[in-house]
Amino acid sequence: MKIKSTIFLIIAAAVIFANYSFAFADADADLQTVVKGNSDFGFDLYQKLKGRKGNLFFSPCSISTALAMTYAGARGETEKEMAEVLRFSLEREPLHSAFSKLQSELKAIRDRGHIKLSIVNSLWAQEGYIFLDTFFNLNEKYYGAGLNFVDFVTQTEAARRTINIRVEDETQQKIKELIKPGMLSRLTTLVLCNAIYFKGDWLSQFDKKKTQDADFYISKNEIIKVPIMSQKSKFKFKDFNDFSAIELPYEGDDLSMIVFLPAKVDGLAELERNLTNDNVKIWIDELTGSYGAKILVNLPKFKITCESELSEILGGMGMRNAFSLPPADFSGMTGKRDLFISKVIHKAFVDVNEEGTEAAAATAVVMETLAISRPLIFRADHPFVFLIRENTTGSILFIGRIVDPTK
Protein backbone atom coordinates (compact mmCIF):
# COMPACT_ATOMS: atom_id res chain seq x y z
CA MET A 1 0.00 0.00 0.00
CA LYS A 2 1.43 3.39 -0.95
CA ILE A 3 1.57 6.34 1.34
CA LYS A 4 -0.34 9.27 0.10
CA SER A 5 -0.35 12.10 2.57
CA THR A 6 -0.65 11.34 6.28
CA ILE A 7 1.85 12.54 8.73
CA PHE A 8 2.73 10.11 11.40
CA LEU A 9 5.83 10.89 13.34
CA ILE A 10 8.48 8.60 14.66
CA ILE A 11 10.92 9.74 17.14
CA ALA A 12 13.17 7.03 18.09
CA ALA A 13 15.29 8.05 20.89
CA ALA A 14 17.81 6.08 22.42
CA VAL A 15 18.96 4.09 24.74
CA ILE A 16 21.47 4.33 27.35
CA PHE A 17 22.08 2.42 30.44
CA ALA A 18 19.30 1.59 32.84
CA ASN A 19 18.61 -0.39 36.00
CA TYR A 20 21.62 1.11 37.71
CA SER A 21 21.62 1.96 41.36
CA PHE A 22 22.66 5.58 40.97
CA ALA A 23 20.04 8.22 40.23
CA PHE A 24 19.85 10.24 37.04
CA ALA A 25 21.02 13.39 38.83
CA ASP A 26 24.16 11.63 40.02
CA ALA A 27 25.16 10.33 36.61
CA ASP A 28 28.34 11.54 34.99
CA ALA A 29 27.94 15.27 34.34
CA ASP A 30 29.87 15.34 31.07
CA LEU A 31 27.93 12.35 29.75
CA GLN A 32 24.64 14.05 30.58
CA THR A 33 25.84 17.25 28.92
CA VAL A 34 26.58 15.34 25.71
CA VAL A 35 23.26 13.46 25.87
CA LYS A 36 21.35 16.73 26.25
CA GLY A 37 23.34 18.42 23.50
CA ASN A 38 22.78 15.51 21.10
CA SER A 39 19.06 15.54 21.91
CA ASP A 40 18.83 19.32 21.39
CA PHE A 41 20.60 18.95 18.04
CA GLY A 42 18.32 16.07 17.06
CA PHE A 43 15.18 18.14 17.58
CA ASP A 44 16.79 21.18 15.89
CA LEU A 45 17.44 18.99 12.86
CA TYR A 46 13.93 17.54 12.99
CA GLN A 47 12.49 21.06 12.75
CA LYS A 48 14.53 21.57 9.57
CA LEU A 49 13.49 18.24 8.04
CA LYS A 50 9.79 18.21 8.98
CA GLY A 51 8.77 20.24 5.93
CA ARG A 52 9.60 17.34 3.63
CA LYS A 53 6.67 15.34 2.37
CA GLY A 54 6.19 11.76 3.40
CA ASN A 55 7.86 9.59 5.96
CA LEU A 56 10.81 10.84 7.95
CA PHE A 57 13.26 8.81 9.98
CA PHE A 58 16.84 9.47 11.05
CA SER A 59 19.35 8.83 13.82
CA PRO A 60 20.58 11.90 15.69
CA CYS A 61 22.97 9.62 17.58
CA SER A 62 24.62 8.44 14.36
CA ILE A 63 24.84 11.92 12.85
CA SER A 64 26.21 13.47 16.05
CA THR A 65 28.81 10.74 16.44
CA ALA A 66 30.08 10.95 12.85
CA LEU A 67 30.29 14.73 13.07
CA ALA A 68 31.98 14.56 16.48
CA MET A 69 34.69 12.42 14.90
CA THR A 70 35.03 15.10 12.20
CA TYR A 71 34.94 17.88 14.80
CA ALA A 72 38.08 16.39 16.32
CA GLY A 73 39.98 17.90 13.38
CA ALA A 74 38.17 21.25 13.23
CA ARG A 75 39.87 24.45 14.33
CA GLY A 76 39.13 28.17 14.50
CA GLU A 77 35.81 29.48 13.21
CA THR A 78 34.95 26.08 11.71
CA GLU A 79 35.23 24.49 15.14
CA LYS A 80 33.14 27.24 16.70
CA GLU A 81 30.34 26.94 14.16
CA MET A 82 30.23 23.14 14.42
CA ALA A 83 30.04 23.34 18.22
CA GLU A 84 27.11 25.78 18.07
CA VAL A 85 25.09 23.75 15.56
CA LEU A 86 25.85 20.35 17.11
CA ARG A 87 25.28 21.72 20.64
CA PHE A 88 28.78 20.75 21.80
CA SER A 89 29.35 22.77 24.97
CA LEU A 90 32.29 20.87 26.50
CA GLU A 91 35.97 21.41 25.86
CA ARG A 92 37.49 19.10 23.29
CA GLU A 93 38.94 16.38 25.54
CA PRO A 94 35.91 16.05 27.90
CA LEU A 95 33.59 16.05 24.89
CA HIS A 96 35.26 13.12 23.14
CA SER A 97 35.65 11.30 26.44
CA ALA A 98 31.89 11.69 27.07
CA PHE A 99 31.09 10.29 23.60
CA SER A 100 33.27 7.32 24.49
CA LYS A 101 31.35 6.83 27.74
CA LEU A 102 28.07 7.04 25.85
CA GLN A 103 29.18 4.28 23.52
CA SER A 104 30.30 2.17 26.50
CA GLU A 105 26.90 2.58 28.17
CA LEU A 106 25.14 1.41 25.03
CA LYS A 107 27.44 -1.61 24.85
CA ALA A 108 26.60 -2.38 28.49
CA ILE A 109 22.92 -2.62 27.56
CA ARG A 110 23.75 -4.92 24.67
CA ASP A 111 25.88 -7.14 26.90
CA ARG A 112 22.91 -7.77 29.20
CA GLY A 113 21.54 -9.81 26.33
CA HIS A 114 17.93 -8.63 26.14
CA ILE A 115 18.32 -6.65 22.91
CA LYS A 116 20.76 -6.39 20.02
CA LEU A 117 22.59 -3.08 19.83
CA SER A 118 25.82 -2.11 18.14
CA ILE A 119 27.63 1.08 17.18
CA VAL A 120 30.64 0.87 14.88
CA ASN A 121 32.84 3.76 13.72
CA SER A 122 35.41 3.70 10.93
CA LEU A 123 37.76 5.99 9.02
CA TRP A 124 38.54 5.54 5.32
CA ALA A 125 41.60 7.55 4.26
CA GLN A 126 43.28 8.09 0.93
CA GLU A 127 46.43 6.01 0.85
CA GLY A 128 49.57 8.15 0.75
CA TYR A 129 47.78 11.29 2.02
CA ILE A 130 49.45 12.69 5.12
CA PHE A 131 47.24 13.02 8.19
CA LEU A 132 48.25 13.87 11.73
CA ASP A 133 48.71 10.86 14.00
CA THR A 134 47.02 12.83 16.78
CA PHE A 135 43.77 12.93 14.76
CA PHE A 136 43.73 9.20 14.01
CA ASN A 137 44.78 8.35 17.58
CA LEU A 138 42.00 10.45 19.08
CA ASN A 139 39.37 8.74 16.92
CA GLU A 140 40.73 5.32 17.79
CA LYS A 141 40.93 6.10 21.52
CA TYR A 142 37.49 7.65 22.01
CA TYR A 143 35.43 6.26 19.12
CA GLY A 144 37.09 2.91 18.45
CA ALA A 145 37.26 4.02 14.83
CA GLY A 146 39.28 1.54 12.80
CA LEU A 147 41.56 3.12 10.18
CA ASN A 148 41.36 1.81 6.63
CA PHE A 149 43.37 3.01 3.64
CA VAL A 150 41.75 3.02 0.20
CA ASP A 151 42.49 4.59 -3.17
CA PHE A 152 39.89 7.22 -3.96
CA VAL A 153 42.07 8.71 -6.71
CA THR A 154 42.33 5.77 -9.12
CA GLN A 155 39.86 3.26 -7.61
CA THR A 156 36.97 5.51 -6.58
CA GLU A 157 34.19 3.02 -7.26
CA ALA A 158 36.05 0.16 -5.62
CA ALA A 159 36.53 2.32 -2.50
CA ARG A 160 32.84 3.26 -2.50
CA ARG A 161 31.78 -0.38 -2.75
CA THR A 162 34.17 -1.40 0.03
CA ILE A 163 32.74 1.22 2.41
CA ASN A 164 29.16 0.29 1.53
CA ILE A 165 29.78 -3.42 2.10
CA ARG A 166 31.22 -2.68 5.54
CA VAL A 167 28.18 -0.55 6.44
CA GLU A 168 25.83 -3.29 5.22
CA ASP A 169 27.58 -5.85 7.39
CA GLU A 170 27.54 -3.59 10.45
CA THR A 171 23.78 -2.94 10.07
CA GLN A 172 22.76 -6.54 9.40
CA GLN A 173 22.14 -5.72 5.71
CA LYS A 174 19.53 -3.09 6.59
CA ILE A 175 21.48 -0.08 5.27
CA LYS A 176 22.46 -0.78 1.69
CA GLU A 177 24.13 1.56 -0.80
CA LEU A 178 24.72 4.31 1.77
CA ILE A 179 27.10 6.09 -0.61
CA LYS A 180 25.61 6.18 -4.09
CA PRO A 181 27.58 6.28 -7.36
CA GLY A 182 29.02 9.73 -7.99
CA MET A 183 29.07 10.79 -4.33
CA LEU A 184 32.81 10.18 -4.09
CA SER A 185 35.44 11.51 -6.46
CA ARG A 186 39.18 11.45 -7.04
CA LEU A 187 39.31 14.50 -4.72
CA THR A 188 37.84 12.52 -1.83
CA THR A 189 40.46 12.25 0.89
CA LEU A 190 38.67 10.91 3.98
CA VAL A 191 35.29 9.34 4.79
CA LEU A 192 34.23 9.09 8.44
CA CYS A 193 31.47 6.52 9.07
CA ASN A 194 29.15 5.65 11.92
CA ALA A 195 26.78 2.68 11.79
CA ILE A 196 24.20 1.81 14.44
CA TYR A 197 21.93 -1.23 14.69
CA PHE A 198 19.14 -2.05 17.17
CA LYS A 199 16.75 -4.95 17.51
CA GLY A 200 14.49 -5.52 20.49
CA ASP A 201 11.36 -7.54 21.28
CA TRP A 202 8.41 -5.98 23.05
CA LEU A 203 8.15 -6.82 26.73
CA SER A 204 4.48 -7.46 25.95
CA GLN A 205 4.24 -8.72 22.37
CA PHE A 206 1.31 -8.33 20.01
CA ASP A 207 -0.53 -11.46 18.89
CA LYS A 208 -0.24 -11.82 15.12
CA LYS A 209 -3.71 -13.35 15.00
CA LYS A 210 -5.16 -10.05 16.24
CA THR A 211 -3.50 -7.97 13.52
CA GLN A 212 -6.11 -6.88 10.99
CA ASP A 213 -6.39 -4.41 8.15
CA ALA A 214 -8.17 -1.31 9.38
CA ASP A 215 -8.65 2.36 8.53
CA PHE A 216 -5.76 4.79 8.94
CA TYR A 217 -6.67 8.45 8.48
CA ILE A 218 -4.02 10.16 6.38
CA SER A 219 -6.17 13.28 6.64
CA LYS A 220 -9.77 14.14 7.36
CA ASN A 221 -10.56 13.40 3.73
CA GLU A 222 -8.26 10.49 2.97
CA ILE A 223 -8.41 7.01 4.50
CA ILE A 224 -6.30 3.95 3.69
CA LYS A 225 -6.27 0.37 4.92
CA VAL A 226 -3.20 -0.71 6.92
CA PRO A 227 -2.38 -3.70 9.16
CA ILE A 228 -3.13 -2.63 12.73
CA MET A 229 -1.69 -4.63 15.65
CA SER A 230 -3.77 -4.95 18.81
CA GLN A 231 -3.27 -5.96 22.45
CA LYS A 232 -4.73 -5.19 25.85
CA SER A 233 -2.21 -4.97 28.66
CA LYS A 234 -0.89 -2.73 31.42
CA PHE A 235 1.06 0.29 30.16
CA LYS A 236 1.94 3.75 31.38
CA PHE A 237 -0.40 6.25 29.73
CA LYS A 238 -0.89 10.02 30.00
CA ASP A 239 -3.55 12.30 28.51
CA PHE A 240 -2.15 15.78 27.79
CA ASN A 241 -5.48 17.08 26.37
CA ASP A 242 -4.17 17.99 22.91
CA PHE A 243 -2.42 14.65 22.65
CA SER A 244 -1.91 11.47 24.63
CA ALA A 245 1.20 9.37 25.22
CA ILE A 246 1.93 5.74 25.95
CA GLU A 247 5.12 3.86 26.87
CA LEU A 248 5.75 0.47 25.25
CA PRO A 249 8.79 -1.16 26.89
CA TYR A 250 11.13 -3.62 25.21
CA GLU A 251 12.36 -6.89 26.70
CA GLY A 252 14.75 -6.21 29.56
CA ASP A 253 13.05 -2.89 30.32
CA ASP A 254 16.17 -0.94 29.28
CA LEU A 255 14.47 0.67 26.29
CA SER A 256 10.97 1.87 25.56
CA MET A 257 9.04 3.22 22.64
CA ILE A 258 7.04 6.33 23.48
CA VAL A 259 4.10 7.12 21.20
CA PHE A 260 2.58 10.63 21.12
CA LEU A 261 -0.89 10.61 19.54
CA PRO A 262 -2.60 13.94 18.72
CA ALA A 263 -6.22 14.17 19.82
CA LYS A 264 -7.25 15.37 16.37
CA VAL A 265 -6.68 13.61 13.06
CA ASP A 266 -5.04 16.79 11.75
CA GLY A 267 -3.25 17.61 15.00
CA LEU A 268 0.29 16.53 14.11
CA ALA A 269 1.46 19.91 12.76
CA GLU A 270 0.74 21.57 16.11
CA LEU A 271 2.49 18.76 17.97
CA GLU A 272 5.53 19.13 15.71
CA ARG A 273 5.72 22.86 16.40
CA ASN A 274 6.09 22.07 20.10
CA LEU A 275 8.57 19.25 19.54
CA THR A 276 11.66 20.40 21.41
CA ASN A 277 13.98 18.45 23.67
CA ASP A 278 12.82 20.43 26.72
CA ASN A 279 9.14 19.79 26.01
CA VAL A 280 9.65 16.11 25.23
CA LYS A 281 11.58 15.64 28.47
CA ILE A 282 8.73 17.20 30.45
CA TRP A 283 6.18 14.99 28.69
CA ILE A 284 8.20 11.84 29.25
CA ASP A 285 8.80 12.67 32.91
CA GLU A 286 5.05 13.02 33.44
CA LEU A 287 4.33 9.86 31.48
CA THR A 288 6.90 7.66 33.19
CA GLY A 289 5.90 9.03 36.58
CA SER A 290 2.32 7.87 36.08
CA TYR A 291 0.84 4.57 37.22
CA GLY A 292 0.23 1.79 34.75
CA ALA A 293 -3.28 1.26 33.49
CA LYS A 294 -5.02 -1.40 31.45
CA ILE A 295 -4.91 -0.11 27.88
CA LEU A 296 -6.20 -1.48 24.61
CA VAL A 297 -3.40 -0.54 22.20
CA ASN A 298 -3.83 -0.43 18.44
CA LEU A 299 -0.63 0.34 16.55
CA PRO A 300 0.08 0.06 12.82
CA LYS A 301 2.84 -2.16 11.48
CA PHE A 302 5.31 -0.34 9.28
CA LYS A 303 8.69 -0.64 7.63
CA ILE A 304 10.45 2.37 6.11
CA THR A 305 13.83 3.52 4.86
CA CYS A 306 14.74 7.20 4.61
CA GLU A 307 17.89 8.85 3.32
CA SER A 308 19.22 12.41 3.25
CA GLU A 309 22.21 14.43 2.20
CA LEU A 310 22.51 16.96 5.01
CA SER A 311 25.29 19.35 3.97
CA GLU A 312 22.96 22.11 2.79
CA ILE A 313 20.73 21.80 5.86
CA LEU A 314 23.65 21.83 8.29
CA GLY A 315 25.13 24.79 6.46
CA GLY A 316 21.82 26.60 6.83
CA MET A 317 21.84 25.82 10.54
CA GLY A 318 25.14 27.68 10.91
CA MET A 319 27.91 25.25 9.90
CA ARG A 320 28.83 27.36 6.87
CA ASN A 321 32.61 27.34 6.97
CA ALA A 322 32.89 23.54 7.13
CA PHE A 323 31.49 23.04 3.61
CA SER A 324 33.81 25.18 1.48
CA LEU A 325 37.50 25.73 1.03
CA PRO A 326 38.37 28.35 2.00
CA PRO A 327 37.33 29.07 4.77
CA ALA A 328 37.06 25.48 6.15
CA ASP A 329 39.67 24.80 8.82
CA PHE A 330 40.26 21.12 9.54
CA SER A 331 43.94 21.64 10.22
CA GLY A 332 43.61 19.29 13.19
CA MET A 333 43.47 16.46 10.64
CA THR A 334 46.45 17.25 8.46
CA GLY A 335 48.21 20.28 9.96
CA LYS A 336 47.03 22.31 6.94
CA ARG A 337 43.76 23.95 5.87
CA ASP A 338 43.39 21.65 2.89
CA LEU A 339 40.15 19.75 3.61
CA PHE A 340 36.43 20.56 3.71
CA ILE A 341 33.23 18.55 4.16
CA SER A 342 31.66 17.87 0.78
CA LYS A 343 28.77 15.69 1.95
CA VAL A 344 27.05 14.40 5.09
CA ILE A 345 25.16 11.30 3.95
CA HIS A 346 22.61 9.64 6.22
CA LYS A 347 20.32 6.65 5.78
CA ALA A 348 18.01 5.00 8.34
CA PHE A 349 15.69 1.98 8.46
CA VAL A 350 12.97 0.93 10.92
CA ASP A 351 10.64 -2.09 11.07
CA VAL A 352 7.90 -2.17 13.73
CA ASN A 353 5.93 -5.41 13.98
CA GLU A 354 4.25 -7.78 16.44
CA GLU A 355 7.52 -9.06 17.91
CA GLY A 356 9.26 -5.72 18.40
CA THR A 357 11.39 -3.20 16.54
CA GLU A 358 14.44 -3.38 14.31
CA ALA A 359 16.22 -0.16 13.39
CA ALA A 360 19.50 0.77 11.77
CA ALA A 361 21.23 3.90 10.55
CA ALA A 362 24.51 4.98 9.04
CA THR A 363 26.19 8.32 8.49
CA ALA A 364 29.13 9.11 6.22
CA VAL A 365 30.98 12.42 6.39
CA VAL A 366 32.88 12.86 3.13
CA MET A 367 35.98 15.06 3.28
CA GLU A 368 37.51 16.44 0.13
CA THR A 369 40.61 18.40 -0.41
CA LEU A 370 40.18 22.03 -1.98
CA ALA A 371 -7.71 -2.55 38.23
CA ILE A 372 -10.24 -4.86 36.30
CA SER A 373 -12.52 -2.48 34.55
CA ARG A 374 -13.34 -1.45 31.07
CA PRO A 375 -9.92 -0.66 29.60
CA LEU A 376 -8.90 2.69 28.25
CA ILE A 377 -8.51 2.63 24.49
CA PHE A 378 -5.44 3.94 22.72
CA ARG A 379 -6.12 3.52 19.01
CA ALA A 380 -3.42 4.99 16.82
CA ASP A 381 -5.44 5.18 13.64
CA HIS A 382 -4.32 8.67 12.67
CA PRO A 383 -1.07 10.66 12.70
CA PHE A 384 0.97 10.33 15.89
CA VAL A 385 4.42 10.61 17.38
CA PHE A 386 6.53 7.92 19.04
CA LEU A 387 10.01 7.50 20.38
CA ILE A 388 12.33 4.76 21.54
CA ARG A 389 14.24 5.75 24.63
CA GLU A 390 16.34 4.39 27.45
CA ASN A 391 14.49 4.89 30.68
CA THR A 392 17.23 6.58 32.70
CA THR A 393 19.08 9.12 30.54
CA GLY A 394 17.17 9.22 27.27
CA SER A 395 19.98 9.71 24.71
CA ILE A 396 18.32 9.97 21.29
CA LEU A 397 19.17 7.34 18.69
CA PHE A 398 16.44 7.80 16.11
CA ILE A 399 13.97 10.52 15.18
CA GLY A 400 11.45 10.29 12.41
CA ARG A 401 7.96 10.64 11.02
CA ILE A 402 5.69 8.13 9.29
CA VAL A 403 3.46 9.40 6.53
CA ASP A 404 1.95 6.01 5.79
CA PRO A 405 2.52 2.84 7.85
CA THR A 406 2.54 0.67 4.72
CA LYS A 407 5.25 2.34 2.66
- The string of pLDDT tens digits covering residues 111-131 is 999 999 999 999 999 999 999
pLDDT reported for residue 377: 67
Q: Are 77 and 85 in contact (CB under 8 A)?
A: no
Query: Residues 95, 244: one domain?
Result: no
Query: Residues 280, 359: one domain?
Result: no
User: In angstroms, rounded to a whole number, what is the distance separating the alpha carbons of residues 304 and 54?
Assistant: 11
Q: How many domains does the chain have?
A: 2
pLDDT reported for residue 22: 27
pLDDT reported for residue 196: 96
Query: Residues 134, 189: one domain?
Result: yes
Indicate the helix (H) or strand (E) that contains 237: strand 222-239
- Nearest CA among 65, 120, 137 for reference residue 365: 65
- Nearest CA among 362, 347, 340, 345 for reference residue 190: 340
pLDDT reported for residue 24: 36
User: In angstroms, rounded to a whole number, what is the distance separating the alpha carbons of residues 280 and 247?
Assistant: 13
Give the CATH number, domain containing residue 332. 3.30.497.10
Q: 212-219 and 222-239 as β-strands: parallel, antiparallel, unpaired?
A: antiparallel
DSSP E strands, 240-291: 243-249, 255-262
Give the CATH number, domain containing residue 220. 2.30.39.10
Indicate the helix (H) or strand (E) that contains 368: strand 356-369
Query: Residues 309, 258: one domain?
Result: no
The Cα-based distances of 161 to 158, 301, 374 in angstroms read: 5, 32, 56
Q: Which residues of the chain have pLDDT under 70?
A: 1-27, 371-377, 390, 392, 403
Query: Residues 278, 353: one domain?
Result: no
pLDDT reported for residue 257: 92
- Nearest CA among 384, 387, 390 for reference residue 404: 384
Query: Residues 278, 316: one domain?
Result: no
Query: Residues 149, 98: one domain?
Result: yes
- Which residue range forms the structural domain that includes residue 284? 208-301+373-390
Q: What pTM was estimated for this model as a whole?
A: 0.86
pLDDT reported for residue 5: 32
C-alpha distance across the termini of the chain, in Å: 6
